[in-house]
Amino acid sequence: MGKNSTFVRVSLYKGMGILKITNLTKVYDERVVVNNISLEVAPAEILAIVGESGSGKTTLLNIIAGNIRPDEGKMWLDDQEVDLFFNRLIRELPDIKLVPQDYKLKPEHKIWENIDLSLTKYTREYRVERVAELLDLCGITHIKDKKPKDVSGGEKQRTAIARAIAEEPQALLLDEPFSNLDSINKQHLRQNLVSLIKHEEIACLFVTHDMIEALLVADRIGVMHKGDLLMLGTPKEIFSQTANPYIISFVQAAIAPIKEFYQQYLDK
C-alpha cells in the first residue's frame, strides 16, 4: 500500500497476535501492587480486567505497554519474547499500543493530524491513505478538521483509538475506556469498539472498575484484588462462581442497583 518498505508486513492479523504475560510482578515501597500475574489474550478477543480502585489494574496495563518497569515477569507476542521495559532503551512497542484514560491528544492539532502524527515514518502517500481509512473505520471523518476541544468525549476517544491502531498493532490496551462518557455515547462506543476489535483481529486488554461494563463488552473477565488476579473466566463463569467470597460481593455490588430498580416493579 505504499508503506515505506522497511515497515511492510504481510498478513498481519490472520492467526497472529497472541499476547501472553507470565508472572508479572511490581513492588512499590515493599508493597506488592501487581502480584505474579499471568494471562493470555488472543487476536479478536476482548479481555477485561476489573477491580476496585487501587487493585493494580493501571499498573498492570502500563507494565504491558512498556511504561512501567516490572520487578519480574515475561511477555510474548506470537511466541516471540518481547523485551519488557527493564531490558529496553526505547519505551514504546509498535505492536502493543495503549489508549490512556485521558487520551493524550495534542490540543493544537486537528483530529486528522493527531492520527497522522503517529505515521511520520511512512511515505506521504501511505499516510494520506491510512489516515482516511482510520477516520472512516472509527467513524470520525466528519470531525477530521476540528480540534480536540471542539469534539465530544466519545469522538476524542475514537480519535485516540484511531491513533493507537494506525500502525496496525497486534494488541490494544485501554485504560477505563468508557469513563467520562454519557450513557448514549458509552453504548455507541461499546458497539463500535467491539466491531473494530473483531474486524481488525486485535488482542484487546482493557481495565475498568465497572463489572457491568466488562460484562457488556468482554469475552473474558479477570478480577483483580490487591494486586492478585483472583479469577479469569467468561462472564458466565465469573457470575456463577461460588468459591470466592470477594468476587461474589463484587458482582453483587455491581448488580445491586439494577436489582433494586426492578424490585420496585416486582413489589407492585
Ligand X SMILES: Nc1ncnc2c1ncn2[C@@H]1O[C@H](COP(=O)(O)OP(=O)(O)OP(=O)(O)O)[C@@H](O)[C@H]1O
Per-residue contact string for residues 203-242; x = within reach of ligand X by CB under 6 A: ------x---------------------------------
Query: Are residues 106 and 117 in contact, defined by beta-carbon separation less than 8 angstroms?
Result: yes
Grid cell digits, residue 83: 523485551
How many residues does this entry show for the chain? 268
Stretch that binds ligand X, among 56-64, 106-114, 134-142, 239-247 (CB under 6 A): 56-64
What is the β-pairing status of strands 228-233 and 80-82? unpaired
Stretch that binds ligand X, among 12-20, 52-60, 76-84, 183-191 (CB under 6 A): 52-60
**DSSP run (H or E) holding 21:** strand 19-28
- Among the listed residues 64, 62, 87, 86, the one whose alpha carbon sits nearest the alpha carbon of residue 75: 64
Considering beta carbons, is residue 33 or 140 the nearer one to ligand X?
33
Q: Which residue in 20, 57, 127, 220 binds ligand X (CB under 6 A)?
A: 57
Q: Which residue in 35, 55, 118, 159 binds ligand X (CB under 6 A)?
A: 55
Considering beta carbons, is residue 58 or 118 the nearer one to ligand X?
58
Site for ligand X contains 86 (CB under 6 A): no
Distance CA 78, CA 200 (A): 16
Q: Which residue in 19, 37, 50, 58 binds ligand X (CB under 6 A)?
A: 58
Site for ligand X contains 157 (CB under 6 A): no
How many amino acids of this chain bind ligand X (CB under 6 A)? 12
Distance CA 161, CA 165 (A): 6
Read off the DSSP letter of residue 222. Answer: E
Site for ligand X contains 35 (CB under 6 A): no
Minimum CB separation of residue 176 from ligand X in Å reads 7
Considering beta carbons, is residue 127 or 209 the nearer one to ligand X?
209
Beta partners for 98?
173
Minimum CB separation of residue 173 from ligand X in Å reads 12
Distance CA 48, CA 209 (A): 10
- Among the listed residues 21, 46, 15, the one whose alpha carbon sits nearest the alpha carbon of residue 34: 21
Minimum CB separation of residue 144 from ligand X in Å reads 31
